Structure 1
Amino acid sequence: MQTDNITLSDINLLCEWLAWDELPTAGRFDADLIVLAGHAVVPAILGVMQLAATTGIPLLLTGGVGHSTILLKQALAENALTRSATFDQHSEAEIFFALATDFFGIPAERLYVENRSANCGQNAEFTREMIAGMGLKAEKIILSQDPLMQRRTRETFEFSWRQKSMTAEFVNWPVFVPRLVSVAGSTVITGAQSAGIWDTERFISMALGEMRRLQDDASGYGPKGAGFIGHVDIPLDVTAAWQRVTQTTLGNLSRA
């Protein structure tokens, strides 16, 4: 897929906003809990595992069987670190548990598994219920998801916490921020050490789809639409970039 420079710049602006990254890059970081929501971007998953292994912060894994479960197993089979292993577990959280214990040596007592959720809203709801039911300390939570879904996940978790008058400080960490670049006439995705995480068409479709869901209108997930999240203030430059991209031939991908 070839994309002109203006459109590349616009898509990259969307991706930078969607992949909301708040984790400090230097010094000690203290948190009570890391929450990893189910997805299939293996470099991001492994980055979270490494953080949990090196810091000792407890890790809550949330994800049942959803649309990304098959993609996750395929991606693990293709990754250089994990392709020698077989993952027979059904849920994404159980697959993550195997990764955490077998590849990163994280003790099972520092891991919590929520394996029922099938979407982002349930990730938040069932995680909240587990934290409350087990009495886990979770005043400050590092939250990680597929980079393109990071902002919506944060909005969903905050919305879920508000519904039950619970409070927590969420800190976004997508592990990396993906970008599109033009190389030798082709458009490729950069930002992680591993290639082949998304194909370009799916990547653009996901980014545009996330922008559509974050709108507070009849077709979005905000209060004026589905009501899955609260109102999201989208910067004017991000809105303008999204509108320009949707007016190109790529705009049809936003309905995916």
Structure 2
Amino acid sequence: MILTPQNVDHLNTISHWLAVNDVNGEQELHADVAILAGHAVLPGLLGAFTRLAATEIPLLLSGGIGHSTELLKTALHAVQVNSDASSEAQLLANAAVQLSSMSSIKAEQLIIEDQSRNCGENAAFSRRLLLTRELAAQRIIVIQDPLMQRRTTETFRHEWQRQGQQADFLSWPVFVPQLGLQNDQLVIEGAASQQGLWALDRYVSMALGEVRRLRDDKEGYGPLGLGFIGHVDVPHAVEHAWQRLMAEPELAALVR
């Protein structure tokens, strides 16, 4: 797959919007709980574990067996995480304890939700588990694959509102990915390491697919479509970039 400079600019516009970040710089984290939805972007996982290890914030790991499970197993195997777990949440729990570089996350800091199979269930099952634990969470950090960050946060917000609960959700992708050139090679920048990032075709597929899901029309996840999230306004620049990229058959064919 060959991406033109204009393609790259369009993708960067899209990914910057998708990876919505409410946690700026190295500010101290303040929240009642952090919820990490299962995914396989290793620099994001490691960055979250390391920073949360220095806090007392409970970390709820959400994920059963889903689309990213095998990718997560492969990514963790590459960094010598020893685990025979099958669920994403338990794999992440093992990784959190083994890989925190500054200080290990304490096992008692972790809450495991290992039944959810998709983003909607991540939100629904996490909410129920917090109620079961009687954890009054009014300020919640949501962590996900950066390209899924906006939709995941919107899904959590929608689930809480649908159940008549109030909470402030902070979106934290850990890093914001952008495409750039290094030694004349197109690479994904923004992360602390290149290890465990998306393959380029998966990156493009996810970025374009996420915009399609966030657009509030009959094919989207908003009220005019499947109703999984509330209405999201897609900025003109993002819509323009998406339309231009989707007009190219090779790129449009990647969207699932």
TM-score of the two chains, using structure 2 as the length reference: 0.94
Q: Is the 8 A contact 2:46 2:99 kept in 1?
A: no
Pair 1:27–1:42, CA change in 2 (3 A): closer
Q: Report Cα offsets for 1:61-95 as digits up to 9, x if no partner.
A: 000011111000111122xxx32x32210101001
Give how far 1:184 is off. 4.9
Residue 198 of structure 1 corresponds to 198
1:124-203 equivalences in 2 (<5 Å) = 124-196=123-195, 197-203=197-203
Letter in 1 for 2:124: E
Q: Is the 8 A contact 2:65 2:115 kept in 1?
A: yes
Q: Report Cα offsets for 1:145-196 as digits up to 9, x if no partner.
A: 0000000001100110011100111111101111112345542212213225
Give how far 1:198 is off. 1.1
Q: Is the 8 A contact 2:245 2:252 kept in 1?
A: no
CA distance in 1, matches of 2:29, 2:46: 18
Letter in 1 for 2:137: A
Residue 32 of structure 1 corresponds to 32
Give how far 1:7 is off. 1.2
* Structure 1, 49-58 or 154-163: larger mean CA deviation: 49-58
Aligned CA RMSD, in angstroms, stands at 1.5
Give how far 1:244 is off. 1.0
Q: Is the 8 A contact 1:246 1:254 kept in 2?
A: no
1:205-244 equivalences in 2 (<5 Å) = 205-244=205-244
1:59-70 equivalences in 2 (<5 Å) = 59-70=59-70
2:36 is paired with a residue whose SS is strand
Residue 86 (structure 1) aligned to one of 68, 82, 87: 82
Q: Is the 8 A contact 1:128 1:161 kept in 2?
A: yes
1:78-117 equivalences in 2 (<5 Å) = 78=78, 82-83=79-80, 85-104=81-100, 105-117=104-116
* Structure 1, 224-233 or 183-192: larger mean CA deviation: 183-192
TM-score of the two chains, using structure 1 as the length reference: 0.94
- Equivalenced residue count is 252
Q: Is the 8 A contact 2:48 2:174 kept in 1?
A: yes
CA distance in 2, matches of 1:118, 1:149: 15
CA distance in 2, matches of 1:140, 1:22: 12
1:245 and 2:245 aligned: yes
* Structure 1, 109-118 or 182-191: larger mean CA deviation: 182-191
Q: Is the 8 A contact 1:212 1:254 kept in 2?
A: no
CA distance in 2, matches of 1:250, 1:168: 41
Q: Is the 8 A contact 1:63 1:92 kept in 2?
A: yes
Q: Report Cα offsets for 1:34-84 as digits up to 9, x if no partner.
A: 110000001101111112101121111000011111000111122xxx32x
Q: Report Cα offsets for 1:198-247 as digits up to 9, x if no partner.
A: 11111000000001111111111111111111110111111111111111
Q: Is the 8 A contact 2:19 2:150 kept in 1?
A: yes
CA distance in 1, matches of 2:86, 2:224: 36
